[in-house]
Structure 1
Amino acid sequence: MFSSRLSLLSLYSRRAAIHNSASCSYRPNESSAGSSNTSRPLFKSFAERLGSSSSSSGGRQAPLPSKFPSGATATPRSRPPMLSGKVLLQQKIQERIKERLDKVRKEESGGQERAARDEEIKSAIITLISEEGVVLGAHPLAKVLHEMDRAQNTLVLVDPQQDPPACRVFSRKLIYERERLARKQRKAAPKQPRPQTIVLSESIGVHDLQIKINRAQEMLAKGKRVTMVVESKGRQRSSEKRAEVGASIMKQLAQHASVCAPPVLEPNSWSVALQGKAVASPAQ
């Protein structure tokens, strides 16, 4: 009975020793120099580390390093203003109106760029020329536009290469009459027909060749200019074959057109330009 109790006591003592050895403490080696017999925890808690850092800085937490230099202040980032749908729609309408005006002005000037006028002039200082053609010297553009009768006259850039650029005063009525006369002349001028091109292969069949020739005859009968092109496709290229097909085309179209220029023979093609003879429609 006594021996069983002694064995249980030894078992409990052994478990206690194992538990104490597994705790978060350690004992330094006494044989090492400067060692002490006092035990200290292996890991420090977050509160202990925070307290030690505060005590080292005089009881206050050390400030974090700033990304701004000394004396500089952080300014809030400015964002672009948000535009409403109505404002965006108005801006889009203004852009379309400007594009339309530019297109109309270009058409009025016969496809040429219209000279800058009034606020369209970019230079702040200009060489002013009166309506009679007298050079009045250099003047600020804003002052000239302010003192000029804008209802009757307009300022036109006549020589942008001069320094300062030369601008002349013109009567609005005179400019309107000139533009109206130019539009009338352009409308009265005969329109040049757009040249048509028909491309065919040198190995084309008889039936397909006849279809191409019939199409060319229809265009030439309307007085149009037609360019016939015979191309070589593939590895088999023969300049004699292209010239033979071209001669056949010219022979069949001789009654409907006149040759504008001699045929052009290139390494991979043969071409000729034909001007059609307009056929008058029979009287009703």
Structure 2
Amino acid sequence: RKPRDEEIKSQYIKYVNLEGQLQGTYPLKKILSSFDRKKYWLLSQERRHQEQKEIPICKLVSKQELYKKSKQKQQTTPHILKKELKLTWKVSPNDLTHKLSRSKEWLEKGYQLQVVISDKTKKDRYNQANKDKTI
């Protein structure tokens, strides 16, 4: 997260108002005392201004607008749900048919599907001919 208000380390900032216009260089304390702290934040536009020894550009933003933007971003960001289908080499034909039909339903719903085919135990090694037959 970008530094805001007292988190800004510089004594002077380049101030950008609500309309996005650069106003000039001002002392940080003067800008912080000039607006309603309940409605607005002063956000630094650079994350690493402390290392660069430059005066950071800081923008006055409405808390309400940031909240609306974050909510809108959450709604537009698709949540990719993942499902995992585990199979062993000794799966019965009926069980395989059922699992494949379930996986088809998941894919149609938009889930991301990962298929894992493994040996149940090391003792249950299945020979290559039977594995090819199962696939």
With the length of structure 1 as denominator, give the TM-score of the two structures.
0.36
Cα 1:171–1:205 shift into 2, 3 Å: closer
Structure 2 unaligned spans of 5+: none
Query: Share of identical aligned residues, percent?
Result: 14
CA distance in 1, matches of 2:77, 2:47: 34
- Alignment of 1:123 with 2:9, yes or no, is yes
The residue aligned with 1:177 is 65
The residue aligned with 1:228 is 115
Cα 1:224–1:244 shift into 2, 3 Å: farther
Residues 210-249 of structure 1 mapped to structure 2, 5 A cutoff? 210-232=97-119, 233-234=121-122, 236=125, 238-246=127-135
**1:194 Cα deviation after fit:** 0.8
The residue aligned with 1:150 is 36
Larger radius of gyration: 1
Cα 1:143–1:177 shift into 2, 3 Å: closer
CA distances 1:57-105 after superposition (whole Å, capped 9, x unpaired): xxxxxxxxxxxxxxxxxxxxxxxxxxxxxxxxxxxxxxxxxxxxxxxxx
**1:198 Cα deviation after fit:** 0.7
Cα 1:193–1:160 shift into 2, 3 Å: closer
Larger relative CO (CA 8 A, sep 6+): 1 or 2? 2
**1:166 Cα deviation after fit:** 0.9
Alignment RMSD (CA, Å): 3.3
**1:231 Cα deviation after fit:** 1.0
Structure 1 unaligned spans of 5+: 1-112, 247-284
**1:210 Cα deviation after fit:** 3.5
Q: Which has the higher strand share?
A: 2
CA distance in 1, matches of 2:78, 2:107: 16
Aligned residue pair count = 126
